[in-house]
Amino acid sequence: MTHTTDVLIIGGGVQGASLAFALAQRGVQVTVLEKSFVGAGATGRSSGLVRMHYDTEVAARLAWASFHYFRNWQEMVGGECGFTRTGFLQIGGVEREEALKANVAMHQRIGIATFLITADDVKRLAPSFATDDFTLAAYEPESGYAMPSDTANALMTAARGRGARLVQSCTVSAIHVTGGKVRGVSSNQGEFAAPVVVNAAGAWAQPVNQMVGLDLPLTTWRHDTMFVVRPPEIGQPHPTVIDYANEMYFRPEGGLTLVGLEDGNPLGEAPEGGAGHALPGFVQPAIARISRRIPAMELGHLQSPHGGYDGITPDQHPMLLA
């Protein structure tokens, strides 16, 4: 039997779940086909930063719109997303100060609560930080992080409560096109018909594209992170930080600090290979860099390293095709 719906979404990560929620709110019949379970891919391995500091106005406006959801999650979605307000710092280094100023001015025009602060201000906010390699930072006092899997599951639960259908352990094997228009898909769980099919498959998006003959500049991006147990010498929890001077980002989570590096992330690997484990050679550079920003972190110890894959474009901006 063929299941018929208005929209099929391939991929049950936070993107697919969010779209299903938005469509179901508008009365659209939507079905999500997920090859494993909700949040099994990049979402479940995301670092979950909730911030508005982006270099393009489109991205900043999208982040600003989404922030109202995180701040009012119970009323707007329901369930839990685990949003934790820590404050957010963007540290750019001296060579990025002009770009930092321009970004903050653009964000303020949008209405985002952000402003420039000095290195001395950062020291007062986070006494454990070394601040001798920059003079200015951007600060968002209301930002922080959320729990990605909780976020995706809350969105999917809310979508299903509004009539959306979720099919898990469902691998799509073909997309059917007639007269230049999609008609539906075949999968290991049967046939699904819809006039609209959305590719939200993340690291598996390019093989989905190829099912309809699309060859787009999209590849996989491996990203490793680690949790470090903060030593008591650091004292209070620190803000969430993107630290371009050290090509890393980090955020607190209870007594832990999550650390990710912005460089050295391989492209083009098969997403099935080695997911869940950090690559050899990741941990030591990551420890060295977090210790440069927070010297007392040398007294901490590694709790666990992790790895995962996502889809990525050449400019790292989203790809939307209609």
> Architecture of 2-47+149-210 per CATH?
3-Layer(bba) Sandwich (3.50)
Cβ atoms of residues 54 and 138 within 8 Å: no
For the ranges 163-177, 217-231, 259-273, which has the lowest average pLDDT? Answer: 259-273
Residues of the chain with CATH 3.30.9.10: 85-142+219-312
Q: What is the pLDDT of residues 35-62, one digit of tens each?
A: 999 999 999 999 999 999 999 999 999 9
- Is the pLDDT reported for residue 297 higher than 80? yes
Q: What is the pLDDT of residues 4-40, one digit of tens each?
A: 999 999 999 999 999 999 999 999 999 999 999 999 9
Number of H helices, E strands in the chain: 8, 19
The stretch 214-243 carries a mean pLDDT of 93
Q: What is the pLDDT of residues 177-208, one digit of tens each?
A: 999 999 999 999 999 999 999 999 999 999 99
Residues of the chain with CATH 3.50.50.60: 2-47+149-210
- Return the C-alpha torsion angle 214, 40, 148, 195, nearest 10: 40
For the full predicted model, state whether its pTM sits above 0.85.
yes
CATH superfamily of 85-142+219-312: D-Amino Acid Oxidase, subunit A, domain 2 (3.30.9.10)
Provide the H-helix boundaries in 85-129: 97-110, 119-125
